[in-house]
Every structure is written in structure tokens, then in C-alpha cells.
């Protein structure tokens, strides 16, 4: 870590959140995050590469061992990206295998690459015997919208085209991710349906569902017409305050915003013309998260159009709680319900 860049900030959990917050998380936060700089306070390259900033303190499990892990290169428009492949023990695999495609979070901007969700991909591969692909898409602001989305969609097409190489059953492919990864998973689920190769399941953890929630000026404020109260009540919640979320939106969308962005369903899947025929979904939200209400609104709209949806609100935790699965019960529970939902879908 570059010591000259550490300003020893102070970001305490405010009283309005403390009363209902998981005390184990509070203790963990005060130890590792209380004096950490937030994403908008750190040079972006440093935040991406230094573990002190990359949400990688000892809060996440390492995940079980799996038989085979390798990185492959996938050609995309204007370059190539890496995709990490996790394979189970082929000796115990029976015929064709199910597949999980992971699209990581990080505000489309700082990511975490192929490491941040490695424990989760290991877990699914070991528990379910599936092949897991973790897509390391290119990041804003160097590659703003729509590049992260088109990279993910291109990688998904590559996986479909090479399914036989990994003994994948193309009728048992699921997609999922947290935060920005939830957005990318929701949109690619719609694209897959429209292409005629629908996924069997979508896992959306604390997903970004409506990109018009922050003000189009790029200033740190909620849009006047934002219908989600959690953007206001959780604007100062730990780990993803409004200041950070606006910074992510500004990098991903640019300032000024693209023309017509408010109604672009590829930015805001809740505004898609139709959600009928989409795969079953598990949507998990966090009580102290600005994104909570839009995730739950998306669950309601999916349900109203005939989609089988389970929506779970994790009490007492902020937005990135799945990253703390070795520390807090909510993180462990996220893993448990995700594994069980995917197990059911892959049957």
C-alpha cells in the first residue's frame, strides 16, 4: 500500500443504522473498515490492485478445493478478456454437467476480477458438480457502458459455442452475480431468453436494477423521481453510501448521461418491455443497502409476469455482506440458499 495516499479517514456506522445492525458485522467493520478510504477517495488503479482497498480483508472464506482451475482467453470486440474455469472431478461426473456463469460485482468499475468470487465459484463446483465460469469483463471508466455488458454477453456466447469441450448440458446453464454482477446477470437473462437459449436460473445478489435512481447531473443526490425509498434511508449506510454509488454510476454511464438512458432496459432491467418467460430467480437484498428496494421491486415485477421468484431480505447487514461469509451468519446463509436454489434448478 502507498502510505502517502492513506489519509486515515473516519467512516463510523451512524446511529440510525447501528441499532438494527448485526453486532458481529459492526465489530468486523470497526476493525477493518472504519479507517479505510472509500472507493471515490482512492486512485482507481490503487483500489483495483491493492488488497487493502479491494474488499479482501479476512472476511471471506477461501472455498473448497476443486479438481481443475484454468484461465482462458475469450475474444471480444476490440480485444480479449479472461474467463476463469472451475471444473469438478471428471471421474465422478456423470455425463453432461450443469454450468454456472458468474458475473462479478464492483460497480462495473473496480471489479475484483477473477479473485473476488473465486471462493463462491469453488463452492458451487464442489457442492453441485457443475462447471463454473467467472467472466473478467473490462471495466469503466476506460470501458464504460455498454462494454461490460457486451463483454459478458460475448463470453456467454463463447461458453455456449464451446459447451461440448466442457461436457456442459446447455439446458442446465445458470447465471448470477452480486451488485453490478446482478445487473449484468438480469440483463443477460433477458438476452438469452430473446435469443432462444434461456438460462435455467438467475441468481441476483443485491442487484443494481435501475440506473436512473441517481441524479442525471452526476451530483451526489438521488433523482427526484426515484421511487425507491432505500436510496434515501440508506444513503449513509456503511460500505455502499450514496457518494460511492454515484461515483460508480458516473464512471459507468458518464456525465452527462447517455441520451435516453433512463428508459434503456439494458441499464435498468426493471424497465424491460416484458419479463415473461424468464428463468426462475433468487433475489437476495440487504436491509441496509441503497439498492434494497429496487431489487425487491424487480422481484415483484418478475412475479407479476409469471416468473418463479424467491426474494430474501437479509436483516442487519449492508450491501456487500456476501463477501464476509467467514465472519457473519448472513454471508453463510447467502451461500447456503444459493447452493440449494441452484441444486434445485440443475435437477
Q: Which domains does the chain have, with CATH numbers?
A: 3-346 (3.40.50.1820)
pLDDT of residue 42: 85
Active site residues: 179, 289, 319
CB 14 within 8 A of CB 236: yes
Sites in the chain below the pLDDT cut of 50: 1-6
pLDDT of residue 320: 94
Q: Is 39 helix (H, G, I), strand (E, B) or coil?
A: helix
Q: What is the DSSP letter of 316?
A: E
Residue with cell 426493471: 270
Report pLDDT digits (tens) over 107-142: 999 977 788 899 999 999 999 999 999 999 999 999
Answer whether the bond into residue 141 is a cis peptide, omega within 30°: yes
pLDDT of residue 269: 98
Q: Can you tell me the distance from the alpha carbon of 230 to that of 237, in angstroms, rounded to the nearest whole number?
A: 10
* Per-residue buried b or exposed e for 237-249, using 16+ beta carbons within 10 Å of the residue's own CB: bbbbbbebbbbbb
pLDDT of residue 5: 41
pLDDT of residue 33: 86
Amino acid at each position: 500500500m502507498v502510505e502517502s495516499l492513506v489519509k486515515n479517514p473516519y467512516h463510523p456506522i451512524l446511529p440510525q443504522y447501528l441499532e438494527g445492525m448485526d453486532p458481529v458485522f459492526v465489530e468486523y467493520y470497526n476493525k477493518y473498515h472504519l479507517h479505510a478510504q472509500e472507493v471515490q477517495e482512492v486512485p482507481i488503479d490503487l483500489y483495483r490492485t491493492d488488497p487493502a482497498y479491494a474488499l479482501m480483508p479476512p472476511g471471506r472464506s477461501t472455498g473448497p478445493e476443486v479438481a481443475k482451475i484454468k484461465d482462458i482467453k475469450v475474444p471480444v470486440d476490440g480485444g480479449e478478456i479472461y474467463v476463469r474455469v472451475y471444473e469438478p472431478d471428471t471421474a465422478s461426473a456423470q455425463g453432461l454437467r450443469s454450468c454456472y456463469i458468474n458475473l462479478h460485482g464492483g460497480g462495473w468499475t473496480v471489479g475484483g476480477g477473477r479473485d473476488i468470487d473465486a471462493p463462491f465459484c469453488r463452492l458451487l463446483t464442489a457442492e453441485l458438480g457443475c462447471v463454473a465460469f467467472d467472466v473478467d469483463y473490462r471495466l469503466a471508466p476506460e470501458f464504460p457502458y455498454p462494454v461490460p455488458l457486451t463483454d459478458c454477453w460475448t463470453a456467454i456466447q463463447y461458453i455456449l459455442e464451446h459447451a461440448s469441450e466442457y461436457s456442459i448440458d446447455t439446458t442446465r446453464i445458470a447465471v448470477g452475480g452480486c451488485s453490478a454482477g446482478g445487473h449484468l446477470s438480469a440483463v443477460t437473462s433477458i438476452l438469452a431468453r430473446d435469443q432462444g437459449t434461456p438460462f435455467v436460473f438467475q441468481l441476483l445478489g443485491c442487484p443494481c436494477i435501475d440506473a436512473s435512481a441517481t441524479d442525471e447531473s452526476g451530483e451526489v443526490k438521488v433523482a427526484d423521481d426515484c421511487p425507491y425509498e432505500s436510496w434515501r434511508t440508506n444513503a449513509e449506510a456503511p460500505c455502499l453510501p450514496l457518494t460511492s454509488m454515484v461515483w460508480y454510476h458516473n464512471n459507468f454511464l458518464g456525465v452527462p448521461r447517455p441520451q435516453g438512458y433512463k428508459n434503456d432496459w439494458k441499464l435498468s432491467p426493471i424497465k424491460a418491455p416484458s419479463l415473461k418467460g424468464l428463468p426462475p430467480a433468487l433475489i437476495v437484498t440487504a436491509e441496509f443497502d441503497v439498492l434494497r428496494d429496487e431489487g425487491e421491486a424487480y422481484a415483484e415485477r418478475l412475479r407479476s409476469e409469471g416468473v418463479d421468484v424467491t426474494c430474501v431480505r437479509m436483516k442487519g447487514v449492508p450491501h456487500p455482506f456476501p463477501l464476509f461469509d467467514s465472519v457473519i451468519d448472513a454471508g453463510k446463509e447467502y451461500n447456503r440458499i444459493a447452493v440449494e436454489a441452484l441444486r434445485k434448478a440443475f435437477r
